[in-house]
Structure 1
Amino acid sequence: MDDLKYGTRNKRGDWAPNKPVETAPLFVFPPKLLAIAKWLPHYFFPWNVIFAASAVAYWALIIPSVETLQTLSVGWALWLYAVNAACVFLFYGAFELHLYVLKRQENRFKYNGKFPADQKNNVFWFDRQNVDNMLRTFLSGVTIWTGIEVVMLWAHANGYAPWLSFSENPWTLALVALVVPVIHEFHFFCIHRLIHTPFLYKWVHSVHHNSVNPSPWSSLSMHPVEHILYLGTAFYHLILPSNPILMLYQLHYAGFGAIPGHVGFDKVEVGEDKLVDSHAYAHYLHHKYFEVNYGDALIPLDKWFGTWHDGSADGEARMQERYRKRKERLSARKASSELQGAAK
């Protein structure tokens, strides 16, 4: 498939889409109903439907009985860890195998023309990005994911978290299910800005940003503190009118949903002529430039706070202008501090 129909490739082999990234039309006033109608299928397919279906499958096939959940036990906690680890290995591994090991679409639609496995870097454990990312995913990521899952299931089973039934509250739960991605986006933006503060960035978030050229295993490669903050999105269901299935959907949206943003390709080729959009470009630009696109464009929070980069020349100019103004402010503070010191 010819990816140059959809974008351009520079001399380094890096690919970029022709069209700038657009934010969702949900929060535009006055509302643009036609634009929302055209966008709405993309809200559900394919990713949100996959994560919602995985939550239903977990509840039907994996989660122990309510009676079992009422008592914390190492046995069922280890069972959930084993299932989570297996599912992460299969889901993340499928993308890694298709795109990075077998390289079935070579570097077509790949933002960064290089592959992480081709380069050694001593910021990673064993100097290998993939080894480092996989170890952090399973040692910390899946462990904390499971820990939060266990606590929330126990809370639901014992009445410490709301448990509404679908038969009695269909519209309330349908609304909560509908806004699960919105909850995730809001939470992600807030904690992401927090961990970009200098102290937390240095000691926590820099671990994730070591993967400047992200790949599937980069998705949950984080410091344990960031894992707690990121996967803690499930805790909203302690106060929302919800139930365990929607809590699992929220958790899966964070855990499995990290893949599209880190897959490193704009589109995944399926068969001879079908393409699946990853919608990863906004977050790829965050990994590339660090201080833009703290959210994922569902809510235009970055536009509202002046940190939006849509991949266009105008977006680049806005980013550089912001950097210039910050440099001027820092220089002015330094000069003021030096003058005060000289006066003493």
Structure 2
Amino acid sequence: MDDLKFGKRNKRGDWAPDAPIETAPLFDFPPRLKAVLHWLPHYFFPWNAIFAASAVAYWAWVVPSVETMQSISIGWAAWLYAVNAACVFLFYGAFELHLYVLRRQQNRFKYNGKFPSEQRSKAFWFESQNIDNMLRTFLSGVTIWTGIEVVMLWAYANGYAPWLSLAENPWTLALVALVVPIIHEFHFFCVHRLIHTPFLYKWVHSVHHNSVNPSPWSSLSMHPVEHLLYFGTAFYHLILPSNPVIMLYQLHFAGFGAIPGHVGFDKVEVTDDKAIDSHAYTHYLHHKYFEVNYGDALIPLDKWFGTFHDGTPEGEARMQERYRKRKERLAARKARLEAKGATQ
């Protein structure tokens, strides 16, 4: 495909889409029914449908019996870890192989024209972004993902979480399943703002931001504290009227759903003339500029809090103006403290 029909490439080889980022019309006021109906298929396909299907498959073929889950044991916990690790390796690895190893679409639709394997940095273990990202994914990410999964399944098996049956509560469960991405977005935004506070950013979130040029394995490359906060989205189902399948969907939305935002390409080509939209540009700009787009634009939280960057020159100008005002506030505060110190 010709990516220049959809965007432009600068002298460094970085590509950017022509169309500005738009937030989902779901929360627009006044409501725009036509826009919502046009957007709705994109809410389900392809990504959310994949993550929901994987949760159903887990429940059918992977998750142990309720009797087994009533007590936590190394056996079934290790089994879940092995399956999670294998699925992550296959799912993440498929994108890595297609886009970064074989480079089947070269740098078409790639936001950052360079590939991580071409750049070594002491910020990473063994000075390799890929090795660092993979080790953090499997040593910490999949481990904590599995730990939370085990705790939640144990809670369901012992009646500590509200378990509604599909036969008796189809509409309630359908509604909860529909809002899984919204729960994730709300949780992700709140946690993301929290770990951008100076102390937590320095000691926790900076690990993830080392991957300025993100690739598939960057998706779950985080500090263990961030993994715990990130996958903590499953704990909402200790309160919500839900069931284990929807809880698994929530976890899979976080675990497998991290891929689209970090794939590094705007479109993933599947044939010579067809491609799947990654919708990754929103989060790519966060990795590039650090203090914009804390959410993924499903809920317009960044618009409401003044941190939205839509990828346009106007968005760039708003960001720079916000930085300028913050710099002035910090300078004024420093001047007041110095003046106060001089009078004492």
What is the TM-score with the length of structure 2 in the denominator?
Answer: 1.00
**Which residue in 2 is equivalent to 1:128?**
128
Residue 102 (structure 1) aligns with: 102
Q: Aligned letter for 1:33?
A: L
Shift >6 Å, 4+ stretches: none
**Aligned-residue offset at 1:295:** 0.1
SS of 1:149's equivalent in the other structure is: helix
- In the alignment, the residues of structure 2 paired with residue 304 and residue 209 of structure 1 have an alpha-carbon distance, to the nearest angstrom, of 24
State whether structure 2 residue 91 is matched by structure 1 residue 85: no
2:258 maps to 1:258: yes
- What's the CA shift for 1:43? 0.2
Q: Percent identity?
A: 83
**Partner deviation per Cα, 1:175-217 (whole Å, 9 max, x = no partner):** 0000000000000000000000000000000000000000000
The residue aligned with 1:10 is 10
For the pair 1:319 / 2:319, whether they are aligned, the reply is yes
Q: Deviations over 1:246-301 (max 9, x none)?
A: 00000000000000000000000001211100000000000000000000000000
What is aligned with 2:189? 189
Instruction: Provide the rounded CA distance (Å) in 2 between the counterparts of 1:17 and 1:316.
Output: 14
SS of equivalent residue, structure 1 residue 8: strand
Partner in structure 2 of residue 149 of structure 1: 149
* Aligned counterparts of 2:254 and 2:34: Cα–Cα separation in 1: 29
Structure 1 residues without counterparts, runs of 5 or longer: none
Task: Name the TM-score, length of structure 1 as normaliser.
Answer: 1.00
CA distance in 2, matches of 1:193, 1:71: 36
**Separation (CA, whole Å) in 1 of partners of 2:34 and 2:199:** 45
Cα distance in 1 for partners of 2:212, 2:78 equals: 33
Question: For this pair of structures, how many residues does the alignment match?
Answer: 344
Deviation digits for residues 21-62 of structure 1 (CA, Å, limit 9, x no counterpart): 000001111100000010000000000000000000000000
Specify the code of the residue in structure 2 equivalent to 1:166: L
Aligned to 2:283: 283
* 1:23 alignment partner in structure 2: 23
Is 1:221 the equivalent of 2:221? yes
RMSD: 0.3
What is the CA–CA distance in structure 2 between the aligned matches of 1:154 and 1:252, rounded to whole Å?
A: 18
User: How far is the alpha carbon of 1:18 from its aligned partner?
Assistant: 0.2
Q: Which runs of 5+ in 2 are unaligned?
A: none
**Partner SS state of residue 8, structure 2:** strand
Q: Distance in 2 between matches of 1:120 and 1:80?
A: 34
- 2:60 maps to a residue whose letter is A
Is 2:81 aligned against 1:63? no
Give the drift of 1:341: 1.0
